[in-house]
Structure 1
Amino acid sequence: MTSVTPSNTTANKRWRAPLALVAGLTGLILVGCASRLEFPPMGEPLPLTAKLEIPASIKTLSADYTDSCGHLMQIPIGSRLEEALVEGAFRTFKKVVYEGGGTKDATPDLLVRVDLVNWSFSIDKEYLYDRAPAKLQLHAMARVYNDKGELLRETEIKTARQERVRLEPVQKNCDYIIDPFIQDSVVDFASKVAMDARLASGAQTAPIAARAATPPTAKTLVPVTPGPAASPSAPTPASSTSSSLRFKAMVLDENSNLILEGGERVRVRVDVVNTGATAIQNASASLTGTQSVVGQFPSATLSIPPIQPGETKSLEFVATLPPTVQSQKAELHVAVTEGGGAAAPSQTLALTIQPTGIQSDDVDQIPAPVAHFRRPHTYLLSIGIGSYRDTQLLPRKYASLDAEMVANYFQSLGGVPASNVRLLQDWKALRPDIDEALLDWLPPRMNKDAVVIVYFAGQAIVTPTGEVLLVPYEGSPSSTTRLYPLKDLESALARLKAKQTILLFDGMVSRLHSDPKAKSVAPRWETGGATVRVIGGEGYAKGIEDDKHRHGLFTYYLLRGLRGDADTNRDGEVTLGELAAYVSQKVSWASKTHFNSDQHPHVWPVLKSGDKSSSLVLTKLAAITGSETP
């Protein structure tokens, strides 16, 4: 086990320096924080000004650990914690003052300070090969002072988060995908600090000495009700049985087409938020309704972990639907109840289960469009060439269909308008057609938010120097002037000055001239530029075609990934990083297991968690959402 834990003497003294919420961050960084960190609903910012301070010792807080290959790694926990606390402060107060920045000429109403008492971090890399348990604990005292320096509130803040982190599949299987775990931990910590400051803000005019004692974990002057928090469902009028818990329920089916089939695996996801001012213990979520469906779930009741004010918890009921020979209507009623009996308004999920017989992994079922998810600045050029004018070139049985399916998926799940898609198939994919799309169709449509995706299914030929030449319909190995150099494609994409460009390639890669005595030079897909390339296989490969599913093997898993299988963190979205990792793992595994061959997708540049390219959302999953039960 790799572990970092401060001692009770010197280390504790080191970390007991006051921690405030921000120092010297520019406005641009604050905007970036807002786009990356996902906080629970916290209500409207209060009309107050908070002064924040932070010592250098907190900014440099870091933890060392050893990755699965024995390399010493370091995590800058301090900078992540600072970033989250900053975001929490700006979500809590209208104005923030701090050294070197903040709201100019503002007089502080409050001073918020946090003393970090203790912390620890560990990864048990020997527990499981690619799912190592990680644990981060943060223990602090939060104090809020009024403008006279009088203590208003003192609260013990604790965060203990444990999660299995998996190996980064797009590198050398050494390091762990740990950024999301760290981010969730520091956001949880910062949310508690921000909520505590919100509670204290209602008492900023009275000193702590003038108030009666309160429980040791939270000393405060007078009760205060926080501002209203957003909730995923309509609020219920206050009553003796009402709950401050609110939730959103939805059904996610295995193939994301919103058509439930007998034998299909489904998930009922429940996102619960605490909109009250106190923590809630012993709450639970339960399912009732059509017994033939409810009975398929291993448990119809799930416990909700303790949930702090403003905090959100997510849980899932998972089951396989019963086989049926005819269409069946069903209802699921979702209820969230506190231990004392108070309940949030229940929600109903209306389901229609189709007869058994449609395979759940049939990617040729076009997923249902996702409502209210639009990407007007995303453009797709989808090229599929299965047959060639030169009959000496081997055909690609499924390339044309693959290009069409990729176009359908990005329109359905990716929110890409049909007018933003150009589909070129077989004899309509001549070199002039590709040029027209890249040089005439795309440029007038570009802006600073544009995302351009090029999918190419077919063949590529590599020169003795390693240069990659894509093969259009009229292309021939005997005449390189009829081929389409990858560098020309890259140059055209670079001139677009889009926010992000992506190349997806599935197909055969062969040498221009087969000379067994010639020295083999690997294909040079890395030609520079900012384009992210996800290539179906490394080196020279035939590009496996999957006759069972009637797709190129790479494209089959590309489609499965886009429709939800790549959503590893189950947030309902598939990012470029998730998709690249998924196809890399699945294609490598399937080629060896089912085809006794080796095909390993190649991703360049390496996508790391937290990168802008890696976090780019490609598709959003369709879901059946619940409505409040009358």
Structure 2
Amino acid sequence: MVEAIENRWAFLVGINHYRERQQFPPLNFCVSDVEAVQTLLQQVGYTTVCLHDGLDYSEPRFPEAKNIRAELQSLCSKVGPNDLLLVYFACHGTRQGDGQPRLIAWDTRSINLDETAIKVRDVEDWLRASAAKRLVLLIDACHIGTGKGGRSLADQEFVRQVYELAEGFHLLAASTDQQQAWEKSGHGVFSYHLLQGLSGAADLEGKNFVSVNDLKRYVQGGIARWSVESGYEQRPAGQSDGDLGDMILVDYRQRSRPDVSSLLGVTSQVAEVARGAEKVAAVERPISSSQRRFYQNSLTRKQEELAALEGQLGAEINAMDELKLTRQIEILLQQIEKLEQQLR
């Protein structure tokens, strides 16, 4: 017998940087995406497991492929039949090789994708093998894609039967299998709308909860509008099966809604970056001649420091030193970018 949701669990993975930097260019906002989603979900009662490359390399939740597999399989073994399990990835995705959608881990090797990347099919299999009857898979990566009636929502038995007792498997991916998934202004475009929707914006009917279908409609509609306005092509893809009703993802009937502005990154830069190739449009700012000299001198020093670090990175070093240098380079690149913006 299906019961109301007992526990809500979330497994979150965000990866900005990759060991093979040439094959998998760095992304900007995957870590901030998962941290914001984690904060929101914890506020509405989820127990979360979060892996991202802002953690120390020695941490068991650093997003190497083996850690992702082990942590997800461990969580799947713990959830109960009346639980909801939500899994969310923000990272590079690919269909290279045999055409199967794969998620790129920190240590994925392009020459051996079959063993070192995470197959979306495997993630789905692990979820379905768990005891949980309510499964949601959200993927903000490139190339992955895959009932209202006449009853009143004031009817509590209707809410119970259609929402609280709903079960099934739902997948929502950031783009179709032929498209890029873009980043913009502090978050992935998909993740930005995801955060807005989960915080309550997707509740267009005033139910005080957000269901899976609410979220799908909100994210798909929001990205469609963004795509028209920006000129960048992105269309979310979804899949559902085995569902009996429309399960509740976040419930605000007995708790206040979070302040989504505190979760979303704020930046003066307007940037479109594919979880893939990069295209940046900077905001122009007038500066004085003295400010310009200061910024130019600072930029020169930062560029010299960057060249020195890149030289060290080209030498034979171990994985830990490589990771530390990569993070230092990331910080320098961000500083250089800000200085270049000021000089434009």
TM-score bin (small chain): 0.5 to 0.7
Does the CA-based 8 Å contact 1:566-1:574 persist in structure 2? yes
- Partner in structure 2 of residue 567 of structure 1: 203
**Distance in 1, Cα, partners of 2:220 & 2:75:** 32
The equivalent position to 2:182 in structure 1, one of 544, 550, 555, is 544
Whether 1:580 aligns to 2:210 is no
Offset, 1:476: 2.6
Residue 504 of structure 1 corresponds to which residue in structure 2?
138
Q: 1:585 to 1:606 in 2, by over 3 A?
A: farther
Q: Which residue of the partner structure matches residue 387 of structure 1? A: 17
Q: Which residue of 2 aligns with 1:492?
A: 126
Which is higher, the Rg of structure 1 or of structure 2?
1
Q: Give deviations 1:188-245, integer Å, cap 9, x for gaps.
A: xxxxxxxxxxxxxxxxxxxxxxxxxxxxxxxxxxxxxxxxxxxxxxxxxxxxxxxxxx
**Which structure would you say has the larger RCO, counting Cα contacts within 8 Å and 6 or more residues apart?**
2
- Per the normalisation by structure 1, the TM-score is 0.34
1:604 aligns with 2:239: yes
Question: 2:210–2:249: 8 Å Cα contact kept in structure 1?
Answer: yes
Q: Secondary structure at the match of 2:82?
A: coil
For the pair 1:422 / 2:57, whether they are aligned, the reply is no
Aligned to 2:321: none
Mapping of residues 430-469 of structure 1, within 5 Å: 430-443=64-77, 445-469=78-102
Instruction: Map 1:17-166 onto structure 2 (within 5 A).
Output: none
Q: Distance in 2 between matches of 1:586 and 1:602?
A: 13
Change (3 A) 1:436 1:614: same
Structure-2 separation of matches of 1:477 and 1:588: 32
* Structure 2 CA distance for aligned equivalents of residues 402 and 434 of structure 1: 17
Residues 470-509 of structure 1, C-alpha deviation per residue, up to 9 Å, x if partnerless? 1111013222121111122122112112121111011233
Q: Which of 615, 622, 627 is matched with 2:247 structurally?
A: 615
The CA deviation at 1:614 is 2.1
Quickly say closer, same or farther: Cα 1:533–1:546, change in 2 above 3 A.
same
Q: 1:439: how far off?
A: 2.0
Distance 2:12 2:42 in 1: 12
- More helix as a share of residues: 2
Within the candidate set 20, 36, 61, 1:405 is matched to 36
Deviations, residues 256-305 of structure 1 (Å, cap 9, x unaligned): xxxxxxxxxxxxxxxxxxxxxxxxxxxxxxxxxxxxxxxxxxxxxxxxxx
Alpha-carbon distance in 1 for matches of 2:198, 2:19: 32
Equivalent residues of 1:563, 1:619 under 8 A apart: no
Cα distance in 2 for residues equivalent to 1:534 and 1:573: 19
2:170 maps to 1:535: no
Q: Which residues of structure 2 form unaligned runs of 5+?
A: 147-167, 258-344
Deviation of the 1:524 alpha carbon: 6.8
Matching residue of 2:278: none
CA contact (8 A) 1:576 1:618 kept: no
Matches within 5 A, 1:2-17: none
1:613 and 1:380 map into 2 onto residues whose CA distance is 21
Task: Kindly state the Cα deviation for residue 623 of structure 1 after the two structures are TM-superposed.
Answer: 4.2
Contact 2:103 2:141 in 1 (8 A): no
The answer to whether structure 1 residue 483 and structure 2 residue 110 are counterparts is no
Going from structure 1 to structure 2, the CA distance change for 1:606 and 1:569 (only over 3 Å counts) comes to: farther
Deviation at 1:604, TM superposition (A): 0.5
CA distance in 1, matches of 2:252, 2:36: 17
Structure 2 residue matching 1:557: 3-state secondary structure: helix
CA–CA distance in structure 2, aligned partners of residues 531 and 477 of structure 1: 30
Structure 1 residues 457, 581: closer, same or farther in 2, change over 3 A? same
Deviations 1:83-135 (A, max 9, x none): xxxxxxxxxxxxxxxxxxxxxxxxxxxxxxxxxxxxxxxxxxxxxxxxxxxxx
Whether contact under 8 Å (2:145, 2:236) holds in the other structure is: no
Alpha-carbon distance change, 442 to 606 in structure 1, aligned in 2, over 3 angstroms: closer
- Note if contact 2:145-2:173 (Cα within 8 Å) is conserved in structure 1: no
Q: Distance in 1 between matches of 2:247 and 2:73?
A: 28
Deviations along 1:555-580, whole A, 9 cap, x unmatched?
00100001111001112111111011
Contact 2:76 2:127 in 1 (8 A): no
Distance change in 2, residues 1:524/1:587 (3 Å):
closer
Q: Is the 2:145–2:175 Cα contact (8 Å) retained in structure 1? A: no
Please give the root-mean-square deviation of Cα atoms over the aligned residues, in Å: 2.4
**Structure-1 separation of matches of 2:190 and 2:9:** 21
Partners in 2 of 1:486 and 1:436 — Cα distance?
15
- Greater fraction of residues in strand: 1
Counterpart CA distance in 2 for 1:553 and 1:540 is 17
Q: Partners of 2:245 and 2:16 in 1: how far apart?
A: 30
Q: Determine whether 1:554 maps to 2:190.
A: yes
In the other structure, the counterpart of 2:151 is none
- Could you list the runs of 4 or more consecutive aligned residues of structure 1 that deviate by over 3 angstroms after TM superposition? 621-624
